[in-house]
Amino acid sequence: MSAPIIRPAPPGSDTPPALALHHVDKRFPGVHALKDVSIEIRPGEVVGLVGENGAGKSTLMKILSGVYQPDSGEIRLNGQKTRFVSASDAMRQGIGMVFQEQSLLTNLTVGENIYLGNEAQFTRFGIVDWRALYAAASRQLAKVQIDADPRTRAEDLDFAARQMVELAKALTLEENAPGHLVILLDEPTSVLERAEIDILFARVRALRARASFIFVSHRLDEVLELSDRIYVMKDGAVVAELAAAEADVTQLHHWMVGRSLQAEYYREPLQKPYRDEIVLELDRLGHQGAYRDVSFKLHAGEILGIAGVIGSGREELTRTLAGFAPHDAGRLLAAGREVKLRTPAEAVDIGIGYIPRERRVEGLVLFLPVAANITLGDLGTLTKNGLIDTREEKRLAQEWVQKLRIRTPGIHTLCLNLSGGNQQKVVLAKWLNARARILILDHPTRGLDVGAKEEVYELIRAVTAEGVAVILTSDTLEETIGLSHTVLVMRDGAITHRVGAEPGHKPQQVDLIGHMV
């Protein structure tokens, strides 16, 4: 589908854009990352930027933040042609960034983080005036309306509060930048709850007098909610620009992936009945301070979804099953045999694979190639006399790349250089190669675009059809319901509800929410 380029009239024709890119191109070896890209951000505006993984969003953001320089084209700031020779140069010119992964150093105080790298203004004869620094940090925190002591260590704040500190840090640029600020929001809501998202959005709206924003997110409904205009990217090019008020999720999905958002998004027609075989049984399982009296039976080929808010106990329960937090009450039986999983290695030994929410931290070794990551969970079968059979490793890696349709230049490509969706496929391949019979999926589609999510859903359906059992915790109730055979609801560490979720008989979200809160 060739989408029309819709250009709403600017609010003030005499006011130049706060930031504009004209005909920007960027190439890397073998990849044409950006193709003749032109965008503009007007003063006080929130611009949404959406696209599949690999569409060019990350490259574009790195050019705007000074990490990369364009091969051709120009950048204009407040109507004047400029260039960003480095990230620090972009910051000096008023370009700030709030990262998805967060850039705060958790062992430093909030104030130290806010002025990290800019302590010189508070330093005389090599001595930092901490009272002045913390007073200035308090003023920055007031801008984002967060009640936090700047002397508090960043590690003592929750994730939502740290995200606000990131925003306050970006706003320090207005003290030295000559013009209007532009703040890049890179997936800032990916691990926030709805109430926290509402607070963040309220702060962004309140700050429009000081700054313009570019909002990058895979959550299309949030992009529509916050943005004034939206740019859609595909294959390194801008394929649509439109007013958010004139768009909907289905339109954006179509332009992003080139096909309609299917009614069977969660591949419900592929959901097969699970088998009678019980692969895991929990009998009044408990972990002090986290959950208690949890009982259920997991069957081969079953997807068991666990719903609940933060603090419900579901995260701690899944980490017990992955070997990170041994239970201290009740019984855990795998294939009929009682076990206590004291380490992740013990979980792997009984056929449990864990796909964590932080795949880049816990799921992959980013600086190892695809082949090494795929075989990492089963090195024993590849090793003889202390040496890895590289020929067999290559064969297995190529087999899984082909089977899971992992898009990579080759099996020797570093996982660091893959898109999020393909990184997730590598993690899945690792456990399937290790012959895991139970997969714990902890927010498996976090940070993935809609096209990549569909591919992950299809893979989940395929592995359960072969008898692999899945325990699923998800970002959304919709995903939990759509994928699962059975849904358990947890609140305050206990199971409060369980319901079947067969195709055509899925429970409604509202029916579950009452048992969650």
Phi, psi of 63 (to 5 degrees): -70, -45
* Paired tokens of 158: 């929750």
Q: State the average pLDDT over residues 109-126.
A: 85
Q: Is 497 exposed, middle or buried (0-12, 13-18, 19+ CB in 10 A)?
A: middle
Q: State the average pLDDT over residues 153-160.
A: 81
What is the phi-psi region of residue 91: left when phi exceeds 0, alpha when psi lies from -120 to 50, beta otherwise?
Answer: alpha
d(CA 26, CA 68): 9
Contact by Cβ (8 Å): 248, 224: yes
Q: How far is CA 262 from CA 151, 343, 390, 476, 504, in A?
A: 50, 41, 41, 18, 16
Q: Which residues of 106-121 are buried (b: 16+ CB within 10 A; e: fewer)?
A: eeebbbbbbbeebeee
* Paired tokens of 6: 């819709």
Residues 6+ positions from 252 with CB-CB distance below 8 Å: 50, 220, 223, 224, 230, 232
Question: Which range has the worst mean pLDDT, 25-39, 154-168, 311-325?
Answer: 154-168
Give pLDDT tens digits for 478-513: 889 989 999 999 999 999 999 999 888 888 888 888
**483: number of Cβ within 10 Å:** 26
* Paired tokens of 374: 């795929």
Residues forming CATH 3.40.50.300 domain(s) in the chain:
1-94+177-261, 272-516
Contact by Cβ (8 Å): 21, 83: no
Q: What is the pLDDT of residue 219?
A: 82
d(CA 115, CA 170): 10
Q: How far is CA 175 from CA 90, 101, 115, in A?
A: 14, 25, 12
Residues 6+ positions from 117 with CB-CB distance below 8 Å: 88
Query: What's the pTM value of the predicted model, to 2 decimals?
Result: 0.62
Q: Where are the alpha helices (DSSP H) in 329-389?
A: 344-349, 370-375
Q: How many Å separate Cα 202 from the centre of its chain?
A: 21
Q: How many Å separate Cα 172 from the centre of its chain?
A: 26
d(CA 237, CA 36): 7
Residues 6+ positions from 168 with CB-CB distance below 8 Å: 114, 137, 140, 141, 143, 144, 146
**CATH code for the domain defined by 272-516:** 3.40.50.300
* Paired tokens of 74: 């120009």
* Paired tokens of 330: 């009740």
* Paired tokens of 69: 């320089």
| DSSP string computed for 463-489 | HHHTT-EEEEE-S-HHHHHHH-SEEEE
Give pLDDT tens digits for 301-358: 999 999 987 778 998 999 999 999 999 999 999 988 999 999 988 998 899 989 887 7
11 pLDDT higher than 50: no
Contact by Cβ (8 Å): 55, 255: no
Query: CATH number for the 1-94+177-261 domain, one of 3.40.50.300, 3.40.50.720, 3.30.365.10, 3.30.420.40?
Result: 3.40.50.300
Q: What is the pLDDT of residue 7?
A: 47
Contact by Cβ (8 Å): 464, 266: no
* Paired tokens of 308: 């609940």
Would you place residue 387 in the very low, low, confident or very high pLDDT band (cuts 50, 70, 90)?
A: confident
Give pLDDT tens digits for 42-93: 999 999 999 876 788 888 999 998 999 999 999 999 889 999 999 888 888 8
6 pLDDT higher than 50: no
Q: Which residues of 267-280 are buried (b: 16+ CB within 10 A; e: fewer)?
A: bbeebeebeeebbb
Pairing verdict, β 80-82 and 278-287: unpaired
Strand partners, 469: 438
User: Which of 171, 200, 165, 204 lies closest to 91 in space, CA to CA?
Assistant: 171
Beta-carbon-side half-sphere exposure of residue 401 (alpha carbons within 13 Å): 21
Q: State the average pLDDT over residues 457-476.
A: 89
* Paired tokens of 372: 């090494």
Beta-carbon-side half-sphere exposure of residue 327 (alpha carbons within 13 Å): 26
Q: Which residue shows structure tokens 């029309």?
A: 4
The amino acid sitting at 235 is D
Top pLDDT among 250 and 326 is at: 326
* % of the chain at pLDDT higher than 90: 34
Top pLDDT among 143 and 37 is at: 37
Q: What is the pLDDT of residue 2?
A: 46
Q: What angle do CA 498, 500, 502 make, to 5 degrees?
A: 160
Give pLDDT tens digits for 416-443: 888 777 888 888 888 888 888 999 988 8
Q: How far is CA 196 from CA 46, 154, 170, in A?
A: 19, 18, 19
